[in-house]
Amino acid sequence: MRRDLLIHLESWKSHPLRKPLIIRGARQVGKSWLVNEFGKQFETFITINFEKSPEVNQFFEGGIRIPELLEKLSLYTGEKIIPGKTLLFFDEIQECEKALVALRYFKEEHPELHVIAAGSLLDFTIEKLGVAVGRVQFLYLHPLSFGEFLMVQGREDLRKFIVEQSNDLVIHGLLIDYLKIYFWLGGMPAVVDGWLRFKDVKICSELQDEIIQSYKQDFQKYARKHQIDHVEKMFEAIPQQLGRKFKYTDVDSDTRSAPLKDALMLLLKAGIAHIVYHSSGQAQPLGATKDLKKFKVFYFDIGLAQRILGLDLKEWVIQPLEVRHIGAIAEQFVAQEYIAYTSVKSPPELYYWHREEKRSNAEVDFLFLKNGMVVPVEVKAGSRGGLKSLAIFLETHLNSTLGLKISESQYDTQSKIQNIPFYGVEAWINA
């Protein structure tokens, strides 16, 4: 199972300005697996798992002197640490806060050594301790994108076809079939691996249930006792509100918005949810005009979202992959794809546009950035469905000259509107 992020790790390995690297992302997206796979490129790969080996914490007590620390780690592991030839991996580093703080000293005292850290719910610890700016680097790992899903299926040829942005009705139909599988399966590595090994829907559904339960158990780790009930309700409510303006009253009409907002912020920090703020879309950066009171929320994995929504797989198999059938889950897919291909070195940032007027209400599902231009995006069903909102946006935003429609249809361009299929998001971003 090769992940695209390996390319970024390989670039980091040889970069002359390399710094200690922290890999961030939700639990169970494959951070440890990724580093272990990358470790095969070194003569020596040393893993220190602070959860499994808490006794190592004592090495970081007192003043941090990197040469002495490396000597102790070498004696502890029985492996010689050689700068340039050894990859030192601190796994579950949140269990040793002083080790996280110590990462900055590797840059200052031993910059030639390759050091990577990762952990569960790491963002909570990073926020608590702070990280020395300019002393570490970050990479963000997400669930498998659709392109990665094709790769692990052994269909590099189909991914190449997507990159070429070609039209072929037969291949298009084949890709739609793979999309239908990905839409319910999602991109969690354990679930995808289960599908590759067994091709059994029941087993994959059980794996999804296990992941969902593990996330619920995590609430105890980062939510205060009085917050847990709110976090649980928010966790279940997010898939119910995909693709529309998020309302706290639809989560729990009997609870004030403040505690529900805190619950949402916790899930965002845990990497379980992604927020999409309203923006005027008139200029960059889009965040400069975002409205904190108007936003949509998407899940981090389409498969888990579908599982929480109680997807009927029997019905799913026979229905066409059209937005009118699958509703906002199509927007979930587009959001997830955009994040996967644009949020590798920085946190995800997504925006949408909505004009709320009595006689001229309009909404654009997403605002993408490409070649310095704001591109309005609508997710639609095939060639059907009007594009009134896109037209209104382009008329009122003179700096935007192109609109994007994403659907199950093939590639096409009509006037100022470019049409791409669901599977074409990666190719469109990278073109």
Alpha-carbon distance of 260 to 241, in angstroms, equals: 14
Once rounded to an integer, what is the mean pLDDT over residues 372-400?
A: 86
**Contact between 123 and 270 (Cβ < 8 Å):** yes
- Check whether 136 has a pLDDT greater than 80: yes
Domains, the chain, with CATH or none: 5-140 (3.40.50.300), 147-430 (no CATH)
C-beta neighbour count of 130 within 10 angstroms? 9
Tens digit of each residue's pLDDT (9 = 90 or more) over 168-220 = 999 999 999 999 999 999 999 999 999 999 999 999 999 999 999 999 999 99
| Verdict on whether the full-model pTM lies above 0.85 | yes
Residues 6 or more apart whose Cβ sits within 8 Å of residue 36: 45, 47, 89
Residues 6 or more apart whose Cβ sits within 8 Å of residue 168: 161
Q: Report the percentage of the chain scoring pLDDT > 70.
A: 97
**Contact between 149 and 33 (Cβ < 8 Å):** no
- Check whether 315 has a pLDDT greater than 80: no
- Which residues, in sequence order, are bridge partners of residue 373? 370
Tens digit of each residue's pLDDT (9 = 90 or more) over 253-294 = 999 999 999 999 999 999 999 999 999 999 899 999 999 999
Q: Residue 359 — pLDDT band, cuts 50, 70, 90?
A: confident
Using DSSP bridges, classify how beta strands 137-140 and 21-24 pair: parallel, antiparallel or unpaired: parallel
What is residue 191's predicted lDDT score, i.e. its pLDDT?
97
Tens digit of each residue's pLDDT (9 = 90 or more) over 39-52 = 999 999 999 999 99
Alpha-carbon distance of 209 to 271, in angstroms, equals: 18
Residue labelled with tokens 């001229």: 360
Environment class of 376 (CB within 10 Å of its CB; exposed 0-12, middle 13-18, buried 19+): buried
- Check whether 323 has a pLDDT greater than 60: no
Buried b (16+ CB within 10 A) or exposed e, 147-159: bbbbbbbebeebb
287 secondary structure, DSSP code: G
Residue labelled with tokens 């703080």: 101
Q: Residue 347 — pLDDT band, cuts 50, 70, 90?
A: very high
Alpha-carbon distance of 377 to 399, in angstroms, equals: 15
* Count of helices and strands (H, E) across the chain: 18, 14
Alpha-carbon distance of 242 to 356, in angstroms, equals: 19
How many whole angstroms from its chain centre is CA 237? 19
